[in-house]
Amino acid sequence: MKAILPVLLLAVLFYNCSRSPYAATNKDYKRQAKQLANTLKRTPPKDSLSQIVSTWVGTTNFNMRKPNFVIIHHTAQNSCDQTLKTFTTPRTSVSAHYVICKDGSVHHMLNDYLRAWHGGIGKWGNNTDINSSSIGIEIDNNGVDTFATAQINTLLQLLANLKKAYAIPAPNFIGHADIAPTRKNDPNVTFPWKKLADEGFGLWWSDTTGIAVPQNFNHLQALRIIGYDVKDSSAVIQTFNRKFLQQQGSGILTDEGRKLLYTLYRKYE
């Protein structure tokens, strides 16, 4: 018996060490997903206008709703482990579909068809509920550092898969700051938006050589047509400059900025 005890102790230690630190939250994920599945299976849903609906007739023509936007974030935290902990702690009420670490590894945290809590209050065009139509991708970055090459390479692969899987239009790959310019600045000023646009994820401005911006060009209207909420014009211009000129902190649109905006706006006409 004495000889067996050390073996049992080693087995317990091995199990505890090899067990995923997220085993408990993975279990809770499955529980919540099962609850949602049970809700979908009800025919009819118990709370669906029962006082005015006379009968339930189940249609045979339906499928899952699919995401139509991809929103890119930086985590503003110090490590992937810190972010994973944040996204698996109920009281934080924040999450994303994917997290990309500095070494290029990627964590898939939520089924793409489910609604993550990553965008918060925001607007793009007429869409005021971005979370319901988007996939959120968080890149491990403290908000200041440049992004690791391995991260960007992984991101490009992931975006290619998402674009193919859900037929997401090129203009619909945007940043958190784009949908919430008064609150957010991510991904930070070093993010390689042009590299993404060259691969078909987002739009970029064209060569401005010889460009003459019309006298009646309305830059705020152009920003609105692109998708921005222009209620706070200074915040929007600051976001535009950060993204397309990689200039931090400027809320003024220069003549060169007007040219860039004009070439970009023409792609949305």
Q: Are residues 144 and 245 in the same domain?
A: no
Which positions are annotated as active-site residues? 138
Note whether residue 164 is domain-resident.
yes
Q: Are residues 120 and 235 in the same domain?
A: no
Q: Are residues 165 and 251 in the same domain?
A: no
Q: Are residues 165 and 247 in the same domain?
A: no
Tell the residue number behind the tokens 């646009």, with chain if given. 197
Note whether residue 84 is domain-resident.
yes
Q: Are residues 140 and 235 in the same domain?
A: no
Note whether residue 157 is domain-resident.
yes
Note whether residue 61 is domain-resident.
no
* Per-residue pLDDT, 56: 76
> By three-state DSSP, how is residue 154 classified?
helix
Instruction: Provide the percentage of residues in the chain whose pLDDT is more than 70.
Output: 90
Last residue of a domain, one of 169, 198, 227: 198
Q: Are residues 76 and 173 in the same domain?
A: yes
Q: Tokens in use for 14?
A: 């091995």
Q: Are residues 225 and 120 in the same domain?
A: no
Query: Distance between CA atoms of 264 and 176, rounded to whole angstroms?
Result: 19
Instruction: Provide the percentage of residues in the chain whose pLDDT is more than 90.
Output: 77
Note whether residue 231 is domain-resident.
yes
Element (H, E) at 257: helix 255-266
> CB-based burial of residue 72 (10 Å sphere; 0-12 exposed, 13-18 middle, 19+ buried)?
buried
Query: Distance between CA atoms of 17 and 165, rounded to whole angstroms?
Result: 37
* Per-residue pLDDT, 8: 47
User: pLDDT tens digits for 170-188?
Assistant: 999 999 999 999 999 999 9
Q: Are residues 261 and 177 in the same domain?
A: no
* Per-residue pLDDT, 244: 97
Q: Are residues 98 and 189 in the same domain?
A: yes
Query: Distance between CA atoms of 257 and 245, rounded to whole angstroms?
Result: 8
Tell the residue number behind the tokens 């869409």, with chain if given. 127
Average pLDDT of the chain is: 90
- What is the separation of C-alpha 246 from the centre of its chain, rounded to a whole number of angstroms? 20
Sign of CA dihedral 160, 162, 165, 166: negative
Nearest CA to 195 among 68, 72, 107, 66?
Answer: 72
Whether the predicted model's global pTM rises above the 0.75 cut: yes
Q: Are residues 116 and 236 in the same domain?
A: no
User: pLDDT tens digits for 10-49?
Assistant: 454 444 555 678 999 999 999 999 998 888 877 665 656 6
Element (H, E) at 80: helix 80-87
Note whether residue 44 is domain-resident.
no
Domain that holds residue 235: 219-266
Tens digit of pLDDT per residue, the chain (269 long)?
455 545 445 454 444 555 678 999 999 999 999 998 888 877 665 656 666 777 777 788 988 889 999 999 999 999 999 999 999 999 999 999 999 999 999 999 999 999 999 999 999 999 999 999 999 999 999 999 999 999 999 999 999 999 999 999 999 999 999 999 999 999 999 999 999 999 999 999 999 999 999 999 999 999 999 999 999 999 999 999 999 999 988 899 999 999 999 999 999 87
Total count of domains within the chain? 2
Q: Are residues 163 and 254 in the same domain?
A: no
Query: Distance between CA atoms of 106 and 85, rounded to whole angstroms?
Result: 15
Mark out the alpha helices in 148-208 (DSSP H runs): 149-166, 176-179, 193-198
Judge contact between 97 and 106, C-beta under 8 A: no
The CATH number that applies at residue 79 is 3.40.80.10
Note whether residue 7 is domain-resident.
no
Tell the residue number behind the tokens 């670490």, with chain if given. 101
* Per-residue pLDDT, 49: 63
Q: Are residues 115 and 228 in the same domain?
A: no
**Amino acid symbol at 253:** L
Note whether residue 93 is domain-resident.
yes
Q: Tokens in use for 1?
A: 């018996």
Judge contact between 156 and 136, C-beta under 8 A: no
